[in-house]
Amino acid sequence: MREPDARPVPVPYLEPIVAAAWWTVGTTALEGGTGTLLLALGLGLSGALLVALHRRHGTGARLRSPVRGKFLRTVGITAALLAVSGTVLGYFGLGELVVPLGAVLVGLASIAVASALDERPLVAVGGLMLVLGAAGAVWALRSAGALYPVGVVGLVAGLVYWLVAAHRGGLLDPRRFRAEARTERHPQPPPAGPARRGDTRRLPLPGEQDPARRGR
């Protein structure tokens, strides 16, 4: 059940899932213990975000058929391009460019999804992913390790998508924090109603009114 004062956003679970995928990619470039710890923390954060977004937005705003079709086509085409590009780059010995190119493809997909869903924050995220992918390609061609082109690109991309998930879902809205603070300071009293079964309190009889009102 979503919060009654929240305006549902379309596809609220998109960014946490994408963030978890990128964070997982980034942790593969780290050493065993550190990578495992960061992976667990990242997956836990994504799970917490999914729960918070579900409480606030439920399943999200319903998409019209043309919008849903464009969204699904964008996701399907992007997934296919990611798979094909990884295979082709690996065949030609350019596996270090797989993650940077993936960042570029996901950035383009984010811009396309932003147009379909009319969500401007995704445009900014798409632009950041394009810059991150270009930087990752430069790092891949200039370094022999995977820390920068895989680790930094993956972890930064995960952070970006977590932030936009919280922002687009209204979890960072200061008005929400002020409303929660007012509720804690001034809790609403329970609604008055007839005595329920099991209530041991005795209701006053007709002759037991307030003594101050008896003489009226």
Print the SS3 string covering 138-177: HHHHHCCCCHHHHHHHHHHHHHHHHHHHHHHCCCCCHHHH
Residue 97 lies in a domain: yes
On the question of pLDDT at 158 being above 80, the answer is yes
* pLDDT band for position 205 (cuts 50, 70, 90): low
Residue 107 lies in a domain: yes
* pLDDT band for position 177 (cuts 50, 70, 90): very low
Q: How far apart are the C-alpha atoms of 64 and 84, rounded to whole Å? A: 30
Domain with 38, as residue range(s), is 14-174
* pLDDT band for position 175 (cuts 50, 70, 90): low
pLDDT of residue 89: 94
- CB of 47 closer than 8 Å to CB of 165: no
How far is the CA of 159 from the CAs of 15, 21, 86, 112, 165, in angstroms? 10, 11, 23, 20, 10
Residue 205 lies in a domain: no
Q: How many domains does the chain have?
A: 1
Residue 204 lies in a domain: no
Could you give the percent of the chain with pLDDT greater than 70? 76
Angle between helices 14-27 and 153-168 (to 10 degrees): 160
Residue 104 lies in a domain: yes
Q: How far apart are the C-alpha atoms of 106 and 49, rounded to whole Å? A: 21
Mean pLDDT of 140-155: 89
